[in-house]
Amino acid sequence: MSETMRRANPSLLELALTFNHIALASFGGGLSAWSREVIVVEKGWMAEEEFLSAITMCRILPGANQVNLAVFVGARFRGVLGAIAAVIGLSFVPVIIILGLGYAYFEFHHLPALQNVLRGAAAAAVALTLAMAIKTGRKCLRGMIPLLLFGAIFVMNGLFRWHLLPCLALLAPLSLVWGWPKSEKP
């Protein structure tokens, strides 16, 4: 089987191992950035635009963004079994790790060194989130309207701390009207 065919049609095991790799190589907000790196750049399973559309839908649907993305990618290539394989790959090993770390935290949370480690991890998560925003922003935020919509959601949700659903209720219709394909008149 050629490399192109393998990349275009991953096995259940490859889906599980790929999402396990994504889960173990990143954390927090950086998971989206690392998912993009692996799925688009490394594996070539999706084009940049398709990934951005998928991750956008995964973010506005209920549930965890990365679980939604694993379901999307797994189902795209292998149907329901692919979705299950990708979700298991994404979550099984991290659940085991977090159970161990949770136990360790409750045993040693009083140590100042642990607090410093957690502050460092939080800073890394913020940096990974900003990296993802910059990479996707370069692709998506071209033109005045996308920049205004981005600014509006940032102010409403990020600064004013409005809940996401009212923000989406206000801005999603505007985004749809702006982005909806215009029919060409003969």
Range among 39-43, 120-124, 127-131 with highest mean pLDDT value: 39-43
Whether 179 shows a pLDDT value over 90: the answer reads no
CA 81, CA 147: separation in Å to the nearest integer? 39
pLDDT class of 40 with cuts at 50, 70, 90: very high
Give this prediction's pTM. 0.64
> Is residue 61 pLDDT above 80, yes or no?
yes
58 in the same domain as 71: yes
Q: Which of 24-28, 105-109, 149-153 has the lowest mean pLDDT?
A: 24-28
The label of the residue with tokens 């219709």 reads 173
Asked whether residue 107 falls in the same domain as residue 156, the answer is no
Are 71 and 156 part of one and the same domain?
no
Within 10 angstroms of residue 122's Cβ, the number of other Cβ atoms is 12
How does DSSP classify residue 38? I
In terms of domains, do 36 and 126 share one?
A: yes
Give me the pLDDT at residue 3, please.
44
- Domain holding 166, by residue range, is 142-186
H helix runs in 109-156, sequence order: 112-140, 144-153
In terms of domains, do 84 and 25 share one? yes
Query: Which residues does 37 contact at the CB level (< 8 Å), separation at least 6?
Result: none
Residues 128-137, mean pLDDT to the nearest whole number: 79
Q: b vs e for 29-61, b when ≥16 Cβ sit within 10 Å of the residue's Cβ? A: bbbbbbbbbbbbeebebbeeeebbebbeebeee
d(CA 22, CA 74): 14
Which residue has better confidence, 92 or 30?
A: 92
**CA–CA distances in Å: residue 88 to residues 36, 76, 81, 147:** 19, 16, 10, 37
Residues 22 and 108 in one domain: yes
Domain boundary pick from 108, 124, 140: 140
Specify the number of domains making up the chain.
2
Q: Are residues 100 and 119 located together in one domain of the fold?
A: yes
The band of 178, judged by pLDDT with boundaries at 50, 70 and 90, is confident
Same domain, 132 and 148: no
* Residue 63 shares a structural domain with residue 119: yes
- Kindly indicate the confidence band of residue 132, based on its pLDDT and cuts at 50, 70 and 90: confident
Please name the residues in contact with 124: beta carbons below 8 A apart, sequence gap of 6 or more. Answer: 27, 28, 30
The arithmetic mean of pLDDT across residues 141-146, rounded, is 87
Residues 111 and 43 in one domain: yes
pLDDT, mean over the chain: 87
89 and 171 inside one domain: no
Shared domain for 184 and 136, answered yes or no, is no
Q: Has residue 75 got a pLDDT over 50?
A: yes
